[in-house]
Structure 1
Amino acid sequence: MKKIILVIVACCMAGTIWAQTASQYLELAKHPELVNPSYESGQKGISALVLYGEKWSGFKGAPKTTGFNARYGFNKFVGVGVKGDFEKVGHRHNNIIGANADVNIRISEQSYLGFGLYLGAEMWHYSLEDAVNSDNGMVLENYDRSNFIGGFGLTYRWKRLVVGASSYISFYTDETNMANCYFTGSYDISVSKNWYIRPLAMYCYNNKFDNFYEAGAMFGYRNLAGVGATYRENQGINIMANVEVIKMLTVGACYGINTGELSDLSKKSFEISLGFKMNRD
């Protein structure tokens, strides 16, 4: 009976990440580059972000996600990058990897508009034969699937304001195409010469599953350290912190307090990250 319950719950969780694993990350509002290929447009040099997280930690079969986003800006106008998301939910493995390119256009003296394109492949497989007892009359066959993913993004910057919109579409052969759309925004408010408050907001639309919003703020000292929190609808509160341990290398951590539908199974989630930036100014 426990095995059957595990299978049912794992399948329900898998449905929430069918098209894009990005929604499983806890720090989406803080790191829009995870869902918008144009977000880092206009930045020269090398930047990279690596994350690992566990959602609903302690519950057997809960999502475990590893991801990375790396980009090289040739100048302030053109950049290219690669992105990958690798997730395990129960007995299901979901892998996405792709490349993106972006351009940055100056609109006025203090405003810029970035455009980004993404093309990738999604490969997933799950095997439930070890988790299901056929004597109970419940049998599921092994399942494999692969498809292309296309995406685009826009990012507008004006002084300390940054707003973006992006969309990713998974193209399935049986015409059950799935789309995710993300809308993000942030604004830096100077508290003093070195301290700032950054309100964050994000909205995710999915044409198959539930939509959700996320809102919160970060409080930081220059680009060296920051703390903050966000609330994600129907999921919980995420408490975040980051610190620059050495020049160009930042370590981050996020602790999620689950308040959603699966909070009875697990009260916590967590995520750790490494960020690297080397500008050629």
Structure 2
Amino acid sequence: MKRYIIILILSLLFIKSWGQQDAMYTQYMFNTLAINPAYAGSRNLVSATALYRNQWTGIEGAPRTGTFSIDAPVLNKRFGVGLQVFSDKLGITQTTGGSASAAYRIRMEKGSLSFGLQGSVSHYSARLSSVLLNSTTGYDPAFMNDASKTLFNFGTGIYYNSDKFYLGLAAQDLLNNSLNNASGGDNLQARQVPHLFLTAGYVFPLATDFRLKPSFLIKGVKGAPLEADVNATLWIKDVLAIGAGYRTSADVTALLEVQVSPQIRIGYSYDRSTTELQNFNSGSHEIMLRYEFGFEKNKILSPRFF
């Protein structure tokens, strides 16, 4: 019963849009294209990333998110392009779709500055009528009709990066799309709301074989408290990285990265809730696989940290 109550509350929060709507990732540094279109092409080669997140293991209906993205520089690296597909399921709701990104890149002395635009199309569905209501009448107008919508939206961003530093600011979901067909006024009307993302990271050389890479992500969503992800990883011989992180009023995180080869990187994260949710779940798991194309034969490249 406690699990059902938790999921019902989460569903209500999602339906009324009083909270973050876009999928959440602990390894956001590997999925930057999802939040900032100006990231496209910033790695100066074709880069493909797959990521899967299993959140709040043990809670029925908890979020399950999968995404695949690919981006590349084009036209003498003056532009970047990127594509992403995603699926995000939470309780009675599911969102699947894709996005296309384009960025204009300005080369600078030590890095590049990019301006990006992103267009997305997604299908949102909510099986509201399947919820068993615990009331004497069994009637609630908010759960009378299922929702099924095809949504078009767009976002924009700016991104600067060099070999050791990156800084990005982006806004997503700028159109206030309706998510249902409710006719009971604003109290029953669910809508997409804008999301703002501020990201930054830096690589500090500590010794010959060690580098420290701190980074943060700050998320702002209308109707929800400001949220921050802060983490740091220690790279050992540019092959293995171990780290930890903290998400405000939500989780503590353990991070692991392995540079299997110059082209392949694997990442894993584990989140442990710091709220009362820790009594009902055994943590969140996230795994990432990145593959990079286009290495020139017999040319050794230093690892790209961002």
Normalising by the smaller structure, the TM-score range is: 0.7 to 0.9
1:207 to 205, 222, 227: 222
1:148/1:172 contact within 8 Å kept: no
Structure 1 segments unaligned to the other structure (5+ residues): none
Aligned partners of 1:42 and 1:103 also within 8 Å? no
Instruction: Quote the offset at 1:6 in angstroms.
Output: 5.4
Q: Please say if 1:103 is aligned against 2:104.
A: yes
Whether the 8 Å contact between 1:235 and 1:261 is mirrored in structure 2 is: no
After superposition, give the CA deviation of every residue in 1:10-39 in whole Å (9 maximum; x if it has no partner): 414634776422xx2122256433311122
Alignment pair present for 1:218 and 2:259: no
Written as runs of structure 1 = structure 2, the 5 A alignment for 1:100-249 is 100-107=101-108, 109-132=109-132, 136=136, 137-138=138-139, 140=143, 141-158=145-162, 160-174=164-178, 176=191, 178-249=193-264
Pair 1:128–1:247, CA change in 2 (3 A): same
1:78 aligns to what?
Answer: 79
For 2:89, the aligned partner's letter is: K
Change (3 A) 1:196 1:27: same
Structure 2: which 5+ residue stretches go unaligned? 179-189, 297-306
Letter in 1 for 2:9: V
Give me the TM-score of the superposition, normalised by structure 1: 0.88
Whether the aligned pair in 1 keeps the contact of 2:45 and 2:73 (CA below 8 Å) is yes
Matched to 2:158, the amino acid is L
Map Cα deviations across residues 210-255 of structure 1 (whole Å, 9 max, x no partner).
2201112111135432111110101111111111334412221111
Cα distance in 1, alignment partners of residues 206 and 3 from structure 2: 54
Which letter does structure 1 place at the counterpart of 2:273?
N
Distance 1:202 1:18, change over 3 A: closer
Identity of aligned residues (%): 22
| Aligned-partner Cα distance in 2 for 1:180–1:277 | 29
Rate the CA distance shift 1:2–1:193 in 2: closer, same or farther, 3 A.
closer
- Cα separation, 2, equivalents of 1:106 and 1:5: 53
Closer, same or farther: CA 273–151 of 1 in aligned 2, 3 Å:
same
Higher percent of residues as strand:
1
Asked if the contact 2:171/2:195 (under 8 Å) is kept, the reply is: yes
2-structure distance, mates of 1:149, 1:70 = 20
Count of residues paired in the alignment: 278
Distance 1:84 1:98 in 2: 7
Provide the C-alpha distance between the structure 1 equivalents of 2:248 and 2:3, rounded to a whole number of angstroms.
30
SS at match of 1:209: coil
Q: Give the aligned partner of residue 56 of structure 1.
A: 56
Distance 2:122 2:249 in 1: 27
> Do 1:41 and 1:103's aligned partners in 2 also have CA atoms closer than 8 Å?
no
The structure with more radius of gyration: 2
Q: How far is the alpha carbon of 1:130 from its aligned partner?
A: 3.5
